[in-house]
Structure 1
Amino acid sequence: MGNTESVSVQKRLARFRPEERPVVEGVFDKLQGGGAPSGAPGKTPAGNTLTLEMLQSSMGSVAPESMVRRVYQCMCSIDPGLAAPPAAGRSSSSAASGVGREQLVIFLADTLRGTAEERAPLVRAMAQRGAGPVTVVPCEQVAEFLEDLISTVVQIVVHRGRLQAWKPERMGDGSLGVKLLAEHICSELKPSDQGCDDSCLEDWIFRTPQVSLYLEMLVSEGLDVSLSGRPAPTLLPPCRDTPWKDLRCLLDLPSLMFLAPQLPDSYNAPWRLVFSTQLHGESFSRMVTGLTKCGPTLLLIRDTKGHIFGGFASHAWELRPKFQGDSRCFLFTVFPRLRVYTATGYNEHFMYLNQNQQTMPNGLGMGGQHGYFGLWLDSDFGRGHSRARPRCTTYGSPQLSEEEDFSLDSVEVWAVGKPPEPQEGEEGQGKRSILDMDPEAQAMMEMTGKTLHSQGLREPEEDQEQ
């Protein structure tokens, strides 16, 4: 670019490593080479600007046309003499004249290495409809921009083969998932009465890292900017041994992109389907078999009214008449909105699983209390409830289902962590008394003064025989 480049461009190039700077500076020439041939309409003879057609040629395979136009509009709005796109915007003639080298470098630097303050005016420029002097954009326009951005990210994941063995064609409606994820992220906006200005967008970008992550993917993948310091992010967890031929997953790609980052950082094992009503039938016992001994799990439920919700269990489930788990557990909804509800600290009623008892509730519960769970599946499979008036005490969640008492349509259980290590002595469980497997029955017998005759008549453990 020589010595004529502006101070703002020089400062932005300094953000990149020495070996990365030629890559950034070379994007302009690469885009021109991928555009219309010399002398064709849309390419200036001098080759000093980029046209919309050139940008479309590079980004068209991974981004919808509406997103390409947003990027082009944003690039054209940048004044190389200023730190960011001016609040009043540039005239529409800027778009007609094309994008210059310095405008492109500033755009690349601010999207790939910029701060929330620097990215805010870029988002404003991409979100606004049409060119012209704009300082505030309505929330609806930000939501439309975000839908385009998320659609692009999903398309990149599919186009680049980063599905991690997930099958979009055997999953939920991705277009609906895009809208739900955009709505969730936009719910973090704190606009003024007039709408979203740069300070509002800066605060939003700072608090919602997905916006910056998706912007970086849009630019690095769409414009083919490969930087050694930023490997491509992994948005989907690996999926293993899933019988896709017989399964229609309750999740879609955007909802999976939403849920996966909610898990604790250490839970990065491949997801494994351990129960599905589509595959295993409507059996509580079969579900319990899938839940136990497989480590942390994600429970997904769809009721007969179409609501999709569930819970994350941080520990392996155990059949016992008392609460278990820890504060890493959470409840969530997928439809009609994407939300996560984490532990409030009010109590420790995180997980509950019981079966075949006469004096304690039989079923699976998360949050709340007996008879008033935030999420409950009855052992009489097919029924459940979500009671929260106004909120679940354990997770702060509202009613998850359409109706307080709901009927099941589908259930899935995904193992999402490493299975627990076998505990010492588990191999000898076959010799244990039935009372050991049923602590409630043992406690009831002791309370009524019954003598536990079998205590002294057991076969010795193998380690005691030696």
Structure 2
Amino acid sequence: MGNTESVVVQKRLARFRPEERPLIEGVFERLQGDGGSGKVLTLESFKSSMDTLASDSMIKRVYRAACCVESGAGTATVTGSGKAITAATSGVSREQLVVFLADLLRGTAEERAPLVLAMSQEGAGNSEVVTREQVSQFLQDVLSSVVKILVSRERLRGWKLDRMGDVSMGVKLLAEQMCSELKASERGTCDVCSLEDWVFRVSQVAAYLELLVSEGLAVVLPNRPPLTLLPACLEAPWSKLKCLLDLPTLMFLAPQLPDSYSAPWRLLFTTQLHGESFSRMVAGLSKRGPTLLLIRDTRGHVFGAFASHAWEVKPQFQGDSRCFLFSVYPRLRVYTATGYNQHFMYLNQNQQTMPNGLGMGGQHGYFGLWLDSDFGRGHSRARPKCTTYGSPQLSADEEFTLDYAEVWAVGKPPAPEEGEEGRGKRSVLDMDPEVQAMMEMAGKTLHSQGLREPEEDED
């Protein structure tokens, strides 16, 4: 670029390390060899580099944003004078590409917001605002491309796409969740200022765009490993399993877990493989470290809870404020602890309850979610007498019927107690004597009250 490059470009290059700058400057020549024309890059140049990793509409969005960069002004802008349309016709210059890459890969929310505005517009529009629906469509394009990159680059980390939930539905739900954080005007439109605030608060927007551009345009910077968007998965019997999770939902839930819980996820229990047995579920999750429970009710709603501590059969309350409830379908949301009390998770004979109240047969007020030891029944809201007013109803009906459940260990298991070292690896069907005694007593109590028939084949 020599002495003719602008001060703005020099400042953008200064954000990269000396060994990275030639790589950023070299992207233009490489793309030009894939279909460039003269001193600018055409849409065909971007398609040649990105066509296996992104949809045609997403490639056009990236190209349009690069065309709209005003390198002389130092920012990416979309004017109302039709300049964006003219730029898109003429192509992307070397300086525009450098500023575009610097702003997306190392920029601030203020610098990224105009690019998001340009990518959210339909066609070659040049409006100074976009609607929430346009932003949602842009996000769906981005998320679909991110999933495509994870698959093609073999970064699924043990997860099996064909044995998981519907990716297209997960993309729509995650896009809607991210858009829910967008503060639109009364008319439902978003300008650069509102997009800047959104990009600043919702860090996934920048992360997903960085992955898309760095992979799509092959901008491989040394000492900067690829973003890790999925936790590793171990010990899942994929040949027999069809799990509730899909990749976008997993990309959303994994960052919600505390940083210390970065261990591989392990499947502990699923009704598909282990049957509708509460005692088997308790045996599967007892003393296995932090866990994530997913439930689908008979009306199709999917929801669950994260337990921050290992489950143990004892009357004392366990867990801490890191416990949370969440919904997956029809809306993707996380509900953190209310702080009303310290009743985060407990599991004992009379009150067997998960985060802030996921329990079985509890008699006191509780928040959010519980399961009955008579497997199949549940409740997903605070009782009216409880002061946690406004707690979320996760299921379709307040009193729901369970259709499917699975439990994942998502943290490091606790150290084995003295005398347990020689036990070896436990099966989900193995029952701790303590848990067995508790469950037998609970079953007898329910039977004596006429609430449950004895099970001939109970564990």
Answer whether TM exceeds 0.5 for this pair: yes
Q: CA deviation at 1:394?
A: 6.7
Tell whether the 8 Å contact from 2:381 to 2:391 is kept in structure 1 after alignment. Answer: no
CA distance in 2, matches of 1:434, 1:134: 66
Taking a change above 3 Å as real, the CA distance of residues 427 and 158 of structure 1, as seen in their structure-2 partners, is: closer
Is the aligned partner of 1:345 residue 2:339? Answer: yes
Aligned with 1:244: secondary structure?
Answer: coil
Aligned with 2:178: secondary structure?
Answer: helix
Which of 71, 83, 86 is the equivalent residue of 2:74? Answer: 83
Which of 321, 326, 337 is the equivalent residue of 2:320? Answer: 326
Q: When the two structures are superposed, what TM-score results if normalisation uses the length of structure 2?
A: 0.87
Once the two structures are superposed, residues 48-106 of structure 1 have per-residue CA deviations (whole angstroms, 9 ceiling, x without a partner) of: 11111110010011101100000111111112211222342524222111111111101
Q: CA deviation at 1:371?
A: 5.2
The letter of the residue matching 1:122 is L
Q: CA deviation at 1:389?
A: 6.4
Equivalent residue number for residue 173 of structure 1: 166
Tell whether the 8 Å contact from 1:305 to 1:402 is kept in structure 2 after alignment. Answer: yes
Is the aligned partner of 1:250 residue 2:250? Answer: no
Q: CA deviation at 1:135?
A: 1.1
Equivalent residue number for residue 456 of structure 1: none
CA distance in 2, matches of 1:77, 1:398: 43
Which of 335, 356, 360 is the equivalent residue of 1:367? Answer: 356
The letter of the residue matching 2:68 is S
Equivalent residue number for residue 462 of structure 1: none
Equivalent residue number for residue 455 of structure 2: none
Once the two structures are superposed, residues 388-415 of structure 1 have per-residue CA deviations (whole angstroms, 9 ceiling, x without a partner) of: 3689867974111000111111100001
Equivalent residue number for residue 421 of structure 1: 415
CA distance in 1, matches of 2:12, 2:254: 33
CA distance in 1, matches of 2:26, 2:386: 55
Tell whether the 8 Å contact from 1:277 to 1:412 is kept in structure 2 after alignment. Answer: yes
Q: CA deviation at 1:34?
A: 2.5
Taking a change above 3 Å as real, the CA distance of residues 15 and 348 of structure 1, as seen in their structure-2 partners, is: same
Aligned pairs (5 A) from 1:258-407: 258-355=252-349, 360-361=350-351, 363-368=352-357, 370=363, 372-373=365-366, 374-388=368-382, 397-407=391-401
Aligned with 1:294: secondary structure?
Answer: coil
The letter of the residue matching 1:242 is A
Is the aligned partner of 1:196 residue 2:187? Answer: no
Equivalent residue number for residue 50 of structure 2: 59
Equivalent residue number for residue 428 of structure 2: none
The letter of the residue matching 1:346 is Y
Aligned with 1:409: secondary structure?
Answer: strand
Tell whether the 8 Å contact from 1:348 to 1:394 is kept in structure 2 after alignment. Answer: no
The letter of the residue matching 1:154 is V
Tell whether the 8 Å contact from 2:382 to 2:388 is kept in structure 1 after alignment. Answer: no
Equivalent residue number for residue 50 of structure 1: 41
Equivalent residue number for residue 28 of structure 1: 28
CA distance in 1, matches of 2:119, 2:269: 43
Q: Which moves more between the two structures, 10-19 or 229-238? A: 229-238
Which of 90, 97, 108 is the equivalent residue of 1:104? Answer: 97
CA distance in 2, matches of 1:24, 1:86: 21
Which ranges of 4 or more aligned residues in structure 1 deviate by more than 2 Å?
Answer: 130-133, 320-323, 363-366, 368-373, 388-397, 422-428
Equivalent residue number for residue 403 of structure 2: 409
Aligned with 2:75: secondary structure?
Answer: coil
Q: CA deviation at 1:322?
A: 4.2
CA distance in 1, matches of 2:147, 2:67: 26
Equivalent residue number for residue 457 of structure 1: none
Taking a change above 3 Å as real, the CA distance of residues 392 and 245 of structure 1, as seen in their structure-2 partners, is: farther
Aligned with 2:239: secondary structure?
Answer: helix
CA distance in 1, matches of 2:420, 2:216: 53
Taking a change above 3 Å as real, the CA distance of residues 67 and 176 of structure 1, as seen in their structure-2 partners, is: same
Equivalent residue number for residue 205 of structure 1: 199
CA distance in 1, matches of 2:114, 2:434: 67
Task: State the percentage of identical aligned residues.
Answer: 67
Taking a change above 3 Å as real, the CA distance of residues 16 and 192 of structure 1, as seen in their structure-2 partners, is: same
Taking a change above 3 Å as real, the CA distance of residues 246 and 371 of structure 1, as seen in their structure-2 partners, is: farther
Gaps of at least 5 residues in structure 2 are 423-432, 442-459
Tell whether the 8 Å contact from 2:289 to 2:411 is kept in structure 1 after alignment. Answer: yes
Aligned with 1:245: secondary structure?
Answer: coil
Taking a change above 3 Å as real, the CA distance of residues 299 and 391 of structure 1, as seen in their structure-2 partners, is: farther
Equivalent residue number for residue 7 of structure 1: 7
Q: CA deviation at 1:387?
A: 1.8
Tell whether the 8 Å contact from 2:76 to 2:111 is kept in structure 1 after alignment. Answer: no
Aligned with 1:406: secondary structure?
Answer: strand
Aligned with 1:246: secondary structure?
Answer: coil
Tell whether the 8 Å contact from 2:290 to 2:412 is kept in structure 1 after alignment. Answer: yes
Aligned with 2:342: secondary structure?
Answer: coil
Taking a change above 3 Å as real, the CA distance of residues 315 and 230 of structure 1, as seen in their structure-2 partners, is: same
The letter of the residue matching 2:30 is K
Paired residue total: 423
Equivalent residue number for residue 152 of structure 1: 145
CA distance in 2, matches of 1:391, 1:150: 42
Once the two structures are superposed, residues 17-55 of structure 1 have per-residue CA deviations (whole angstroms, 9 ceiling, x without a partner) of: 0000000000011112223xxxxxxx43xx311111110
The letter of the residue matching 2:99 is I
Tell whether the 8 Å contact from 2:120 to 2:134 is kept in structure 1 after alignment. Answer: yes
CA distance in 2, matches of 1:326, 1:337: 25
The letter of the residue matching 1:110 is D
Q: Which moves more between the two structures, 222-231 or 381-390? A: 381-390
Tell whether the 8 Å contact from 2:132 to 2:190 is kept in structure 1 after alignment. Answer: yes
Which of 129, 137, 147 is the equivalent residue of 1:136? Answer: 129
Aligned with 2:404: secondary structure?
Answer: strand
Supply the RMSD in Å over aligned alpha carbons: 2.5
Q: CA deviation at 1:191?
A: 1.4
Tell whether the 8 Å contact from 1:250 to 1:300 is kept in structure 2 after alignment. Answer: yes
CA distance in 2, matches of 1:136, 1:111: 20
CA distance in 1, matches of 2:15, 2:176: 33
Gaps of at least 5 residues in structure 1 are 36-42, 442-466
Tell whether the 8 Å contact from 1:302 to 1:309 is kept in structure 2 after alignment. Answer: yes
Q: CA deviation at 1:238?
A: 0.3
Is the aligned partner of 1:127 residue 2:120? Answer: yes
Q: Which moves more between the two structures, 91-100 or 406-415? A: 91-100
Aligned with 2:233: secondary structure?
Answer: coil
CA distance in 1, matches of 2:33, 2:242: 43
